[in-house]
Amino acid sequence: MTSIVKPRSYIIKTRFFPFFPFRFFTPLPMTSVIDPSTIGKPRRPRRHVRTLTGYLPDTDEAGEAKWPRGEEKIWRAGTRGVDSDVPSITKSFVNHVQTSLARQAYNLDNLGAYQAAALSVRDSLLVNWNDTQMNYTRKAPKRAYYLSLEFLMGRTLDNALLNLGLKEPYAKGIKGLGFSIEDILEQERDAGLGNGGLGRLAACYLDSAATQELPVWGYGLRYKYGIFQQLISPEGNQLEAPDPWLDNQNPWELPRLDVTYEIRFYGQADRLNDGTGRALWTGGQEVLAVAYDVMIPGYGHRTTNNLRLWESKPKRGFDLNSFNAGNYEAAVESSNSAAAITAVLYPNDHTSFGKELRLKQQYFWTAASLADIIRRFKNLGKPMTKFPEYVAIQLNDTHPTLAIPELMRILIDEEDFDWDTAWQIVTQTFFYTNHTVLPEALEKWPVPLIEHVLPRHLQIIYDINLFFLQSVERKFPGDRDRLARMSLIEEGTPKQVRMAFLACIGSRKVNGVAELHSDLVRTTILKDFVEFEGISKFGNVTNGITPRRWLDQCNPELSALISKTLKLEKDVWLKDLTKLEGLLPFAEEKKFRREWTAIKQRNKERLAHYVQTTLGYTVNTNALFDVQIKRLHEYKRQTLNILGVIHRYLSLKNMTPAQRKKAIPRVVFFAGKAAPAYYIAKLTIRLIVNVARVINNDPETKEYLTLFFLPDYSVSLAEILIPASDISQHISTAGTEASGTSNMKFCLNGGLLLGTVDGANIEIAEEVGEANVFFFGHLTPAVEDIRYQHLYHPVPIETKCPALANVIDQVSQGLFGPGDVYEPLLNTIRQTDYYLLTDDFDSYIAALAMVDEAYADKEEWAKKSIRTTAKMGKFSSDRAIMEYAESYWNLEPTPVPPGPAL
């Protein structure tokens, strides 16, 4: 379907330009040539669609076919996918090899086998997907749309097999053909359309929404290049290579070349001055958004939701305006820039840069998504005033905030609504999730940039601000400071639009992602808004993770042991994770502890094998495995960890061999990417790699301490590391990590947590009991005062924290290669120490010692591990998504009727 979002005046212009070259054409003021009554109506040409002869439409409420059966011509599309028996699977696999792939049965490699398996599984998904969409169309429930600039999906085949319940027959069928399912699964490239936690959360939520049979679609961008591939140079520097993840073709996406929208940039916006508030936005660049659909199967039933990703394309092969002006080169340039919009994911996590292309990505994606959502709503035949009764839109962080002025623009300029009615509709539709209170991550866009790229939206933002500040003024008369603090426009050169404030006032509800974080949102960055709008608008939904991927898939042995122990099929407890509590009594049984520990051991060996084959190092699997894997960022304090490792190394060096023999052997794993422009984070990687080089080759200590930086952290690598961890580190400066989700993944897999009192660590400790976690460090309320002390009453590190001072000296003096390289990193600690390393180091070292002590008692450690897994029920993303559905979106599960489609 083509839906055209294009004012009539534009059509006139393009018609005439070819005949009247630009230079002879004196533009007339738009307002005088256009009759306002003729514009603004969306032109949505009817599709010429027909029903296939003999097609049997959907069943009625009672499940009866509406058309009489038994008539010869009656048939129905997509009645079945691939049957779940091994011979049918084999047949479908071979079919795809020979037809879809056009390859010979005697000439197939693992990649080809993967593609054939994927296409075969896709056939089954498609049936469910079609029936799900038809079911939604028929029942017309309220729908929710999850707008996220990132979806960190990882691999799909294994997950699809699990959710369809087809893992075993496919493994058998493929084995029968001489291939191994494990090898085939390894062929798939990660869909890395995200940076870290925010994108992975979106992926977990899609899995949970489908599993709970909720009518939820995701909307995102189809980046040609996902998150960069990380390489480590011989010096230890991070290098970035492009991630051409689509190069082998992507069997999981369905191009919808007929679902397109035209998206405008630049041009001019002329207010009509006809008393309606409408304006006319014309000229500029028009880019085509093309839809690609990704099927999202629910676990254990047929509901298969949709993730719609937009690709940008030039509207025509070249820009007609430039062509007419005789500028062929600019025309080609402009077609390049259309494709550039979805070329690459911006690789920044928790930082915002005011780049024009990023702004264009954000508008392109929100405008295409809204146009699509509105078209679907209009098919219901309801007036736009009913929009919020049928549509909820969740804004994943401020990235999609332009959807708010965009919906205002559509309602006012195209649908003829007055301002107040339009604002009413908008503020009932949107919901905003805040993901951070870090100042550098709060999005702000320069006013001149928005004015240039989106002139009409800037007008609307100014209007929203005017009416909003008027209402603030009425409630708090004469409070000029308050008006300045709350204005959507931050004064300065240039002025900037504060996107979090726009998202807040344009939404029905605002939430943070863990209890502490939501409190911080309410008491710091949005304090004035809580005072103005009332506390009830500001809630919390603690993040979650899908136990399908993060337990059953990545740790199948543990999953099987849990099912056996609970005497429950896994499809019961994987859908109600609180059932894990049933494991608690078994913590007391020695036999069970032995089985539990043996599985952990095999997962450690699997990781050791990975390190052996990728880095060529042998790993001591009898050591304690200590893991910190996440984006590299100063607030996450990988630096604290590596300095702690050096401290341990220096202590070991100072011991006699006899003393050393009593030490708990430890293997420390790091993985994570740094933003390419984040100099300090990249220096931390360099330090880790060079410390590893020294420590791993020291014959005195390497039995007791080794260290690995695993390059190119990804979802698939996380799936190997997480089940193998004994302890994982989540050691952000208190108040900086909004939630964290990898903390949940580790604990679900029986890894214990070493962390600060921050984000979801706090709620994990509440669930599993403080006796089962290792906490250290200053608390959130102290942080501000300490930072003030650092600035105005600094104490030398030598006095404050001699142990840390010694470690820093050793680095500086060249124990791990030329010390001057690390000076900028070390200076962040010596100088303002914004992230409180000097304040938390001693208690961190003490916590590490407590971990050693606890690990020495293997039985007690196993109990802690079991108790931790047992209490992780709260952190299923099923719980989180149901909170959104019930408390925010007002959404009902809408199951696909059971049984074969017909």
Q: Give me the residues that bind ligand PLP (CB under 6 A), please.
A: 152, 196-197, 200, 630-631, 714-715, 718, 740-742, 745
Q: Please choose, from the candidates 470, 466, 459, the residue with its C-alpha nearest in 3D space to the C-alpha of residue 408.
A: 459
One of 636, 686, 730, 863 is an active-site residue; which one? 636
Active-site residue, 631 included: yes
Residue from 462, 471, 470 nearest 405 by CA: 462
For residue 195, the minimal CB distance to ligand PLP (Å) is 8
Q: How far is the CB of 204 from ligand PLP (least distance, A)?
A: 8
Residue among 304 and 742 whose Cβ is closer to ligand PLP: 742
Nearer to ligand PLP, 65 or 720 (CB): 720
From CA 393, how far away is CA 425, in angstroms rounded? Answer: 12
Q: How many angstroms separate the CA atoms of 264 and 266, rounded? A: 7
- Smallest gap from residue 334 Cβ to ligand PLP (A): 36
Q: Which is nearer to ligand PLP, 196 or 751 (CB)?
A: 196
**Residue 668 CB, nearest distance to ligand PLP (Å)?**
16
Regarding beta strands 624-629 and 727-730, do their DSSP bridges make them parallel or antiparallel, or are they unpaired? parallel
Q: What sign does the CA torsion over 702, 707, 711, 715 have?
A: positive
- Environment class of 49 (CB within 10 Å of its CB; exposed 0-12, middle 13-18, buried 19+): exposed
Q: Which candidate in 684, 741, 838, 894 is catalytic?
A: 741
Q: Are strands 143-147 and 391-396 parallel, antiparallel or unpaired?
A: parallel
Helices (H), 454-547: 455-475, 480-486, 499-505, 515-523, 527-533, 547
CB of 717 to ligand PLP, least distance (A): 7
435 is a catalytic site residue? yes
* Shortest Å, Cβ 632 to ligand PLP: 10
The yes-or-no answer on residue 745 being catalytic is yes
User: Least Å distance between CB 625 and ligand PLP?
Assistant: 16
Alpha helical stretches, state H, 99-222? 110-139, 157-164, 167-176, 181-186, 197-211
d(CA 374, CA 44): 12
In the complex, the smallest distance separating the C-beta of residue 718 from ligand PLP, rounded to whole angstroms, is: 4
Residue 355, strand partner residues: none
Q: How far apart are CA 367 and CA 365, in angstroms?
A: 6
Q: How far is the CB of 200 from ligand PLP (least distance, A)?
A: 4
218 within 8 A of 661, measured Cβ to Cβ:
no
Q: Is residue 285 within 8 Å of residue 46, measured between CB atoms? A: no
Q: How far is the CB of 582 from ligand PLP (least distance, A)?
A: 26
d(CA 94, CA 113): 9
Closer CB to ligand PLP, 97 or 541, in the complex: 541
- Among this protein's residues, is 656 annotated catalytic? no
Q: Could you say which of 301, 549, 630, 867 is catalytic?
A: 630
- Nearer to ligand PLP by Cβ, of 742 and 869: the residue is 742
Nearer to ligand PLP, 453 or 760 (CB): 760
Select 278 or 631, whichever has its Cβ closest to ligand PLP: 631
SS3 of 18, please?
coil
Indicate the residue among 487 and 761 with the shorter CB distance to ligand PLP: 761
For helices 197-211 and 157-164, the axis angle rounded to 10 degrees is 20
Q: Which is nearer to ligand PLP, 446 or 740 (CB)?
A: 740
Q: Is residue 763 a contact partner of residue 514, using CB atoms and an 8 Å limit?
A: yes
- Cα distances from 1 to residues 308, 314, 317, 442, in angstroms, run 15, 18, 20, 37
- The full DSSP string for 637-659 is THHHHHHHHHHHHHHHHTS-HHH
Helices (H), 430-491: 447-453, 455-475, 480-486
457 is catalytic: no
Q: Which of 189, 435, 498, 660 is catalytic?
A: 435
Nearer to ligand PLP, 216 or 632 (CB): 632
Which residue of the set 648, 745, 871, 879 is catalytic? Answer: 745
Find, among 445, 267, 276, 284, the residue nearest to 355 by Cα. Answer: 445
Q: How far apart are the first and last CA of the chain?
A: 27
Catalytic positions, written as ranges: 435, 630-631, 636, 741, 745
